[in-house]
Amino acid sequence: MSEHIITGIDVGTYQVKVVIVRVSHQKNEPHGLPQIIGTGHAESRGLRNGYIMNESDVIRSIRSAVTQAEKTAGVSVKKAYLSIGSVGLDEIISTGEVITSRADSEITTIDIEKASQDSEDRITDHIPNRKIIHAIPLRFRIDGEPVLGKPEGMRGTKLEVDTLFITTFEQHLNDLIGAVERTGIYVEDVMASPLAASFVILNKAQRRAGCIMANIGAETVSTVVFEDMTPISLKVFPIGANDITNDIALGLKITLEEAEKVKRGSITTTNYPKKRLEEIINARLSDIFELINLHLKKIKKDGLLPAGIILTGGGSITLGIQEFARNTLNLPARIATLEFDKNTKIRDASWAVAYGLCMIGASDGEESTTIGITKQAKRTILDWLSQFLP
């Protein structure tokens, strides 16, 4: 039996979270779930909407969280998987095509790769200053007819593929990687935060039926839409839970600290005008879910996701948010819950991104991966999505 130590670093606007796991490999046996052996967190400093404003502050926050995790795990972190969030994340869909190369018209892996490369080449000039961090094949067509499953081995003259590309600003990506590596940690790979969280927040039934996961962070709301086990859309909105807190503080003339407790429903000794409080919270929730609904309409999935919306992130515990989401989107709504080992310090879904990164690392096994964004753009997430969760 061999053991593999994997670290995930989630640099959020509110907190930096670090999870260290151990993966045991039994010969001729499948991977087990990563066992959490260390966690660490620190207040995020030097960030605004996910962007680095003060690198030295960000480095100190990362180092503090990592040191805490190292102490509890009893290991030294030398390399890690890193998430990237912020409003800089965006999506673009492109279609590529290729004439099959074999004389008998049988489609090969090379044909699929060439079609995927063509879809990337068609958008390169349209995304200046951006890097592709994920390339996800959505659907294939052979001679104009849709293909169910993989086209390899089938026959046809022309192969087409629609690919979802997840991109981010190159400068932001370089800044984030640089901040982590200046702590002495080598960044093995980078993944969009919403996708990392979806590994542990969503189960196969939800991803297969169709759902949207909304991570309501301090300054942003990150969403990812799944259908038929595939992430078909990813979007980040520049609004978050801090806006609700600020509105409550202004509306009720109370401190930010008190407003945060009111938002979470943890203050019961003080009586605030219930109707006024609901009006304040609902006004901001209306802004958030209207943005989500407009996006679902844009991709033609409004009211058409049977598994509904799954809410996570610090803002998901806002009073009345589940019912508001259900009524606004006309979809089933639930708050995400995570079941972790009772011996760990993880107790809520805010750790999903960091733990999801570890799951990704575990899926790679002993394979040595580099930060190479080009390699990551060629990957398909579909194989990862089915490895660990029920």
Q: Do residues 244 and 282 make contact, with C-beta atoms less than 8 angstroms apart?
A: no
Q: Are strands 15-25 and 2-11 parallel, antiparallel or unpaired?
A: antiparallel
Q: Span 127-151, mean pLDDT?
A: 92
pLDDT (0 to 100) of residue 371: 29
Q: What is the mean pLDDT of the chain?
A: 86
CATH architecture type of domain 2-87+170-200+339-386? 2-Layer Sandwich (3.30)
Residue 54's DSSP bridge partners are: none
- Domain 90-168 CATH class label: alpha beta
Give alpha helix (H) positions in the chain: 55-73, 109-121, 170-181, 193-201, 204-209, 241-252, 256-264, 274-298, 321-329, 352-363, 373-378
pLDDT digits 0-9 by tens, 56-73: 999 999 999 999 999 999
Sheet of 333-335: strand order equals: 230-237, 221-227, 211-216, 309-312, 333-335
pLDDT digits 0-9 by tens, 232-281: 999 999 999 999 999 999 999 999 999 988 888 877 667 788 889 989 99
Entry pTM: 0.86
Whether 2-87+170-200+339-386 shares its CATH topology with 90-168 is answered: no
Q: Do residues 181 and 187 make contact, with C-beta atoms less than 8 angstroms apart?
A: yes
Q: Model confidence at 342, in pLDDT bands (50, 70, 90)? A: low
The segment with the largest mean pLDDT, out of 9-13, 67-71, 342-346, is 67-71
Rounded to 5, what percent of the chain is helix, strand, coil? Answer: 35, 30, 35
pLDDT digits 0-9 by tens, 278-330: 899 999 999 999 999 999 999 999 999 999 999 998 888 888 999 999 999 99
Residue spans of the domains in the chain: they are: 2-87+170-200+339-386, 90-168, 202-335
Tell me which fold the domain 202-335 belongs to: Nucleotidyltransferase; domain 5 (3.30.420)
Q: Model confidence at 383, in pLDDT bands (50, 70, 90)? A: very low
